[in-house]
Each structure stands twice: as C-alpha cells, then as structure tokens.
Amino acid sequence: MDRIRITGGNPLNGHLTVSGAKNAALPLMISSLLTEEPLILNNVPRLADVLQLERILINHGVDIAVHGRKPADGDDSGQRMTFTAAEIVDTCAPYDLVSKMRASFWVIGPLLARMHEARVSLPGGCAIGTRPVDFFLYGLKQLGAEIDIDNGYVIAKAPPGGLVGGEVDLPRVSVGATHTIMMAATLARGKTVIRNAAMEPEIGNVAECLVAMGASISGIGTRTLVIEGVERLHGATVDVIPDRIEAGTFAMAVAMTGGDVLLRGARPEHLQAALDLVERAGATITREAGGLRVRRNGNGLQAVDVEVDTFPGFPTDLQAQFMSLMTRANGTSEIRETIFENRFMHVAELLRFGADIRVDGQLATVTGVPELRGAQVMATDLRASVSLVIAGLAASGETIVSRIYHLDRGFERLEEKLGRCGAKIERLAG
Ligand code: UD1
C-alpha cells in the first residue's frame, strides 16, 4: 500500500487549481442512467471513487468514453467524459461494487424511474457512522415504489406505468436522499415536492444538469424542490463545479503553514462559512480574478469554535482539517460535529503529532500547542486522511501517512499540487 512522506515546516506559495467536485461528479454520472442519450460531463476529477462508479455504471450497460486532451488543456484540466446509457442491461447493483462506496446506492433512483425496478445492495463507504438509507426508502415509497429488503439488497418496484409524483418531507437534511429522490421524480408522473431538501452546491449542480436534460425543477438552491415529471429526458453537456472541500482544505493548509496561495477556480459562495472561520483564525482571504487568494504572514493562529452544519453552514467534510488547524492555535477551540456520530477518528492520529485534544461525545476540545512533531500516522477515512497531511506540512521533521487509498478516493494528485507550492511531500510506493 502506498504511503505519503512529508517533511514539514515549509510555507506554501504559488497557485493551485481546484479540481472538479467529487460529490457533484458522482451524482452527475448517475444522472446519465435517466436517458438513452449521451450525457457529457466536463471537469470530472481523476479519483478512485469516480473509477469505482464507472465500474458500477458499466455493469448497468452505460458506455463511457474519456475524451483525449485538447491543445488548450492545461496540466490541471479535468476530464471530459461521455456517459451513454442507451440500454440498461442490468438493474441490479451488486454488493461487491456498491459496498466500496456509499454514493453508488444512489443509482436506485434513476434505475427505478427509468426501468421501474431496481435491486441495489445496501451500501458501504467511509466508516464515519451507521449512515442508514431509511430516508431514501421513505422518499421512493412516497413516489409509489414498493420496497423490500432481502439478503442485504433493497428491492424496489415502481407501480404499473412507473413512479408517481408525491410529497416527500425529509425528516432531516440528507444530501444523498435529496439527489436520489430528485432524480427519481424527474421521470415520475405528476408533481413531486421535496421539503427539507439539501441545499449543498452539488445538489444545485445536479438539478441544473437535470434541467439541461429536459427536467422541470423549481426551487433550486432552496429547502423546497418542486419537480414536475416529464416523459423522457435527453442528453446534455454539463460542467462539474469546483470542489469546495478541496478548496477549503487548501485554504486551511495555507493558514496552517503560512504562505500565499491562489486557489484557482475556487468559488467563495460555496464555502463562505469555512472561509469566515479561516479568516477569524488569522489568514487573509481575498477574491481575485479566477479564484481565491489565501495568505498568512506567520503570526499566531487564533482559536475559533465551530459547529458543523448542513450548507450554508460549516461542512462536516472540513471538520477534520479545521481541527488540524486548531491544534496550533493560541487558546482553546471547541469543535462540534452534528452530522455523523463517528467522525473524530482523526483525533487519535492528531495526538501522535503532539496535539492536545479531548473528545466528549460529539464535542472535541482542542488546546493549541506551540509545535507539532512529525509522526507515523494512519488514514482512517477520506477527509480525516487529509487532516493528517495538513498536520504533517506544519509539523517539524518527517511524517509518514499510511493507508492513503482513502486520500485517493477524494483528492486529485494532492501531493503533486502541494509539492508545486513548495511542500516537501512525496508518495512512497507500497
Ligand atoms: C454526502 C457527501 C459527504 C458529506 C455528507 C454530509 C457525497 C458523495 N457525500 O454524504 O461527503 O459528508 O453528504 O454533507 O456527496 N441519514 C439517515 N438516513 C438516510 C440518509 C442519511 O439517517 O437515509 C443521516 C446520515 O447518517 C447522516 C445525515 O443523515 O447522519 C446526513 O447524511 P447525508 O447528507 O445523507 O450524507 P451522504 O449523502 O451520505
């Protein structure tokens, strides 16, 4: 297994291009199941999770083409890919494919809408909590589906003639359930209302894609989505939005190490809550043409409290990175996780750098220390892994991060991007 070696202590300077958002690319790819015509996606990141979803889609019968590089493409251009689900040959998503990534469960929505049946394994994914699928099943039932669970599989059947529009009041904001029910409702007969819908920018990206494919959706960017079902959807060409989590991660890395980095492509409106906190902690953030510039002059960081929330609040996917930052702040910071019940696994690893963190249920209390020292640490989940990289960049001496396959699931060429900004970071082949 590959590892990452970091020699800490160097500031970051230069520019980085933010890749396409993993959390948008995955549901956009899944949307291709809704039409027999080609869906072209620009700016798809090269990530293990994208490859994994490609395997699942291929199994359903989707033809996938990766377009070659064009002369105008820079080193940092994302992939242009075409997904054509001319014929769906299999409505089953098997355990060995779905168990590797939770988002693959979301195929249940489009399969059920277009093929009127689906058999999808219950999901796996990051070990950050139980992550049930009850909201998905409730939502699909509201659209008329009959649902059974058998042998670890969800077996869903639409009523004769297909799904019908319905009222879906989500008991709690769920990104995955919103994507899935929205996709399913595009081909249902009649009107669907999703209340308490997720408002994350990735939902907007997918909703706009569905509209470009011929769907009728209003309320995009609000807590209430209204979808008028249509008979069929057609092909479209859509850009994957820049990854706000990657942008926020880099902003925190610069705040941690000091330096001056332009994050090309970053959209401040997608991560305002996180930027506010990084600024309060001591970095200077300015909007510039084409991106965001993050600077810290090396003065001390300030402790800031944070409570994770759904968008537009501070994202759970940046909680581990922010905790890493707070390990070096002056004072004590309280970090409260509210979305997942087991998302503090990075704490034990951060302690190995000499951090001072206490955990009580969903609350972590971080008291800043004057220095972190390099350590051997292990990645435990996708976002936790990158918090260890950030700590390693700021720590004195050498850090080795093992089990970095978690990192490869969600961060494109991380060591290359950081290396170009002056970090001493390299991948060691396992
Ligand atoms: C998505 C993101 C993930 C992010 C999370 C929260 C992708 C590919 N993944 O995950 O990076 O951390 O949103 O912003 O976009 N829940 C239930 N029942 C359900 C569904 C969810 O209880 O049927 C709970 C979950 O366990 C969790 C909360 O609702 O506690 C929110 O989860 P959700 O928004 O669904 O997360 P994902 O879509 O899995």
CA 87 to CA 224: how far, in whole Å?
32
The pLDDT, as a whole number, for residue 130 is 54
175 Cα–ligand 1 center, Å: 5
The pLDDT, as a whole number, for residue 124 is 58
CB neighbour burial string for 30-66, b if at least 16 within 10 angstroms, e if fewer: bbbbbbbbbbbbebbbebbbbebbbebbeebebebee
Query: Does 316 contact ligand 1 (Cβ within 6 A)?
Result: yes
pTM for the whole structure: 0.97
Quickly count helices (H) and strands (E) in the chain. Answer: 14, 24
Closest protein CA for atom 39 of ligand 1: 176
What's the chain's length in residues? 430
The pLDDT, as a whole number, for residue 289 is 87
176 Cα–ligand 1 center, Å: 6
3-state secondary structure of 291: strand
The pLDDT, as a whole number, for residue 125 is 46
CA 4 to CA 386: how far, in whole Å?
11
Query: Does 157 contact ligand 1 (Cβ within 6 A)?
Result: no
Query: Does 111 contact ligand 1 (Cβ within 6 A)?
Result: no
User: Ligand 1 test: best mutation among 102, 174, 199, most atoms within 8 Å of CB?
Assistant: 174
CA 200 to CA 183: how far, in whole Å?
16
CA 339 to CA 72: how far, in whole Å?
41
Cα Rg, the chain, nearest whole Å: 22
pLDDT by position in tens, the chain (length 430) = 889 999 999 999 999 999 999 999 999 999 999 999 999 999 999 999 999 999 999 999 999 999 988 777 777 789 999 999 999 999 999 999 998 888 999 999 999 999 999 999 988 544 444 568 999 999 999 999 999 999 889 999 999 999 999 999 999 999 999 999 999 999 999 999 999 999 999 999 999 999 999 999 999 999 999 999 999 999 999 999 999 999 999 999 999 999 999 999 999 999 999 999 999 999 999 999 889 999 997 678 999 999 999 999 999 999 999 999 999 999 999 999 999 887 899 999 999 999 999 999 999 999 999 999 999 999 888 888 999 999 999 999 999 999 888 899 999 999 999 999 999 999 998 7
* Residue 167 C-beta-side C-alpha neighbours within 13 Å: 1
SS3 content of the chain, % helix, strand, coil (to 5): 35, 30, 40
Query: Does 132 contact ligand 1 (Cβ within 6 A)?
Result: yes
Closest protein CA for atom 1 of ligand 1: 175
The pLDDT, as a whole number, for residue 131 is 64
Q: Where are the alpha helices (DSSP H) in 261-398?
A: 272-281, 319-326, 346-351, 382-394
DSSP state of 303: P
Among the listed residues 17, 87, 77, 80, the one whose alpha carbon sits nearest the alpha carbon of residue 57: 87
What is the DSSP pairing of strand 291-296 with strand 284-288?
antiparallel
User: Ligand 1 test: best mutation among 47, 126, 131, most atoms within 8 Å of CB?
Assistant: 131
CA 279 to CA 359: how far, in whole Å?
25
Establish whether 92 is a catalytic residue: no
C-alpha torsion angle, residues 327, 333, 336, 340 (rounded to 10): -10
DSSP state of 21: P
C-alpha torsion angle, residues 308, 310, 313, 319 (rounded to 10): 30
Token code pair at residue 15 = 């520019």
Query: Does 91 contact ligand 1 (Cβ within 6 A)?
Result: no
Query: Does 159 contact ligand 1 (Cβ within 6 A)?
Result: no
CA 322 to CA 64: how far, in whole Å?
37
CB neighbour burial string for 186-222, b if at least 16 within 10 angstroms, e if fewer: bbbbeebbbebbbbbbbbbbbbbbbbbbbbebebbee
Helix axes 319-326, 382-394, angle to 10 degrees: 20
126 Cα–ligand 1 center, Å: 11
By the 8 A CB rule, do 232 and 210 touch? Answer: no
The pLDDT, as a whole number, for residue 71 is 75
3-state secondary structure of 76: coil
What is the DSSP pairing of strand 306-307 with strand 356-360?
unpaired
Among the listed residues 107, 70, 67, the one whose alpha carbon sits nearest the alpha carbon of residue 90: 107
The pLDDT, as a whole number, for residue 317 is 96
CA 359 to CA 374: how far, in whole Å?
22
CA 322 to CA 390: how far, in whole Å?
10
Closest protein CA for atom 35 of ligand 1: 174
CA 326 to CA 367: how far, in whole Å?
7
